[in-house]
Structure 1
């Protein structure tokens, strides 16, 4: 019996089946849960070696194509795409730390990541020490313990724009043979590629700039592929010792890519962090225009930051592109082609002024997101940083009148006109 001679219900299920291939110019979307095996031995080989594709949770051609694309953009050896930026951070960390281990992190990080450290990883007996002055190499060095297994920081911090001296901190990580993991979401590889400066691992919320359109969630882990078993094996026994039942070690199978292979084989699929192939496709499509968008957004942001700094209603502007920012020289040293497009500024009128601002904008959108083609505004003190104490918010440069902007690709004249109109309204509120 063939499909054509089968009954109606059978034809409905099988008539569209085809093994034909075509050279699509755009990345094809393999929107399928599983993949057909050629024969008995093909299935056995896939499960014993991991080659090819069997089930989308463990690998998918669309996802793999985007992983190659993003690894290349970050100058990495390989990448693993996951379901969100938070999944990327979790997967990267759980690939290198375990119970009884210790992490040293910048205190200037996304609140969701900070909560992961303090609430979730702490329950797994993984402790974190936070470094406040990330520009002081000795502060990083002093926080390291014998059981430290990773250093973590953001290249361009949310929300005060603190800029990481990647080379200096990665050198400290190398001293103790542990990876420096850098969240490069805000800087993007268009402006900064931390692996080129010594970082071992880079993570992103791909939902932000990499996708750019604000339509999907995704995250990515990019690895330098330089894991050295001789130097770092004592800090990563899970990579160098035989597996269950005497299986070959991850390092013996993957060499310098052992760390990212472990993330792909053992962490991401087992914790269920795999992305949808459709989301992967949309992230890959967005990444194709990354440089164009970031160039426009950075140019807009610099002009807006300069304009805001000249306004009487504005108390301060924390933008790394301004000479007034304490990390401006570091930004000049590391960021190529712009200073990013996310920053904070503080209104003189405090909380009432901030409230009036977010409720009066028209071109800017009031929402919790960044890296969109649209310009966005948020009040950190009552949203992203609400769980921090007043003292902790002060350290991060977040006051009652502080607002975070994510600048989009609109015409900068229209953005400044919207800000000018709103600031005039704010002046009337606090007068």
Structure 2
């Protein structure tokens, strides 16, 4: 609820918490976004997001409404992106039930910029400054004809979050540089450290949260995953997929995983209860862990380099053609994703900028995170971001990724070997791709 004299409110429906993940920020058409009072009639702008996107939590809506006192922002959040995106696909052709601004997860951006592009505004038509974005992030939100459909919010450079109390109890180092050295440049070394942990711990915690999370971290360190540069489905022949599958199955077969289904209440409780000692940690995960672990987790978590740099997650803001307030919606989307707001979202929520300009701000470069033992996250994520490959994104990435994640979860919970689990996952994926 607003605390000022104006009768503006932020209304949040169905507040949700995280999927493949994530938070937001990106580009700017004005320095401060302010229009001043009385510039136009009172307008309500609606924003649709998934998970704990971070815009409201960081106070950005509140700030924008202070700068533009004729604007009220209403956000609707759906917990899981799969549910959110399915509803969006249903609504786009009819134009009914759409928000002025709709967030799009990176796994769905190819579809949004291609076959669904007609349903979204071209930010070029509104003279939005897109020059501050990372080139690869801007390219992901642009269609083949140069139409800018999505303004990038965050990116997901990865590290490893770990529980220092569990590491100490098992005789492993706790200093983040020494921890990083345990598995430097080698995901297999990360598994070996997990095996050492399992032999020595009495905490009852597993080494890692889930095979699916480990798979995502590994596969996203390869430029080619599910599609090749010609748009052909290649996941069955992909080196990245094969490597990630084997690493994840090594963890599963060694009983190193807590067998959690990612982004479910069960996973949330496991994070709070200390079910696992490590998890793959893109930038947006820091805020998620803090929210779920709460005060009880303060002083237990730290952050180290991942074995190999990669990107997991990151989102975009679009403006729908169905919006009745396109100009104002574009201004809001541009302001929310401006370098200044991206830097603020990082310092408040840990969402790493997709704006190259924002990445250079002192508050990003010098940022630390008190909850994670004052880890210099600005320095750590900036270093990781330098080595991120440009991922090839395809139209059915999410279908393939979810199919492989489900295959790993089945192997964890039902004991299927890696070959049988792979065969079943491929069968499920091929059936889904044929629909």
Normalised TM-score (structure 2): 0.29
Higher relative contact order (CA 8 A, sep 6+): 2
Larger Rg: 1
